[in-house]
Amino acid sequence: MNYFKTALLLAALTGFVLVAGYLLGGQTGLVIALVAALGMNLFAYWNSDQMVLRMANAQEVGPQNAPELYNIVHELAQRAGLPMPRVYLIDEDQPNAFATGRDPEHAAVAATTGLLRYLSREEVAGVMAHELAHVRHRDTLIMTVAATLSGAIGMLASFGGLMGGGRDSEGRPLVNPIVAIAAMILAPMAAMLVQMAISRGREYEADRMGAEICGQPQWLASALAKLHAGTQQIHNEAAERNPATAHMYIANPLALAGGMSSLFSTHPPMEERIARLQSMGGQTYAQPRPLASSAPRRGPWGGAAPQTPRRGPWG
């Protein structure tokens, strides 16, 4: 998805905020919606990274306590022409990762301990390359703006009954109650659909660029297959407590019941993502030098890892 389409979608989200505010509260609601949208986005612009990292209970790590992960991110950032982001670990068994930050100079990447436990070094590199692709495209800011605008619509809908649309001098409602009820139901759904459109398009593009950054599309394709299996079998407690952050992860961290729920996922179908990466296998990329050193693999917290590969519960 290109920047023009994304700008249109964000403009649509902003329009939903203002329309929802007006329908639910007349001119007063419109002003409240505008102030809420501006305030939430200003706060998100300056604090989105720390806000999301705190929600995930992420802890910053460096070359001393997570040398393998740190070195992988460092080398991939150099290949991508990016400043070195801050690196975080999340003590969650579910294999997953996300990136955050308002721009490449204030970016952070976070991986769960499960990601390092169940994926090979090459697969971890593919995942981190995907996250750095988000940083390079400044997707982290766009996704945060989309999330906060959607949150503003949800907040307005929640207070719609209290606002009541106001009344004129004769006590008649300024807004048709049926219209207000419809706005309370439809506006959040419309916002969710726009947010899904932004998220899904960005994931496809991050997969493509991530494959180019690491130079090996099959690394990311293999990682996505394991992530898909892992997220279906292992709960992510931090994400379940804060579902608004789900779209930030490379794989949907929330437990889905299946069926119609897949239609409302913020992530594109994993099978399609893997197929697209596999179709890139015949293309020519600049062959990367071997990642880091040939030193023995280390565990997620810097301790020595077993000599045999560690597999997830799905095999």
CA–CA separation, 186 vs 206, rounded Å? 30
Are 21 and 29 in contact by the 8 Å Cβ rule? The answer is yes
* Residue partners of 261: CB distance under 8 A and separation at least 6: none
Domain boundaries, the chain: 3-279
pTM for the model stands at: 0.74
Within 13 Å and on the Cβ side, how many CA atoms surround 175?
Answer: 26
Residue 247's pLDDT is 80
Active-site entry in 75, 131, 203, 212:
131
257-300: pLDDT as tens digits: 444 444 446 688 899 999 999 998 755 444 444 444 333 344 44
Please compute the mean of the pLDDT values over residues 24-31 and round it to a whole number: 76
Residue 131 annotated as catalytic: yes
Give the other-Cβ count within 10 Å of 136's Cβ. Answer: 19
Look at the block and give the residue holding tokens 């693999």: 297
Residue 185's pLDDT is 66
What angle in degrees, to the nearest 10, is found between the helix axes of 139-158 and 3-55? 80
157-176: pLDDT as tens digits: 666 554 444 554 555 445 55
DSSP for residue 6: H
Render 96-144 in DSSP notation, one character per residue. Answer: -EEEE-SSGGG-EEEEEHHHHHHS-HHHHHHHHHHHHHHHHTTHHHHHH
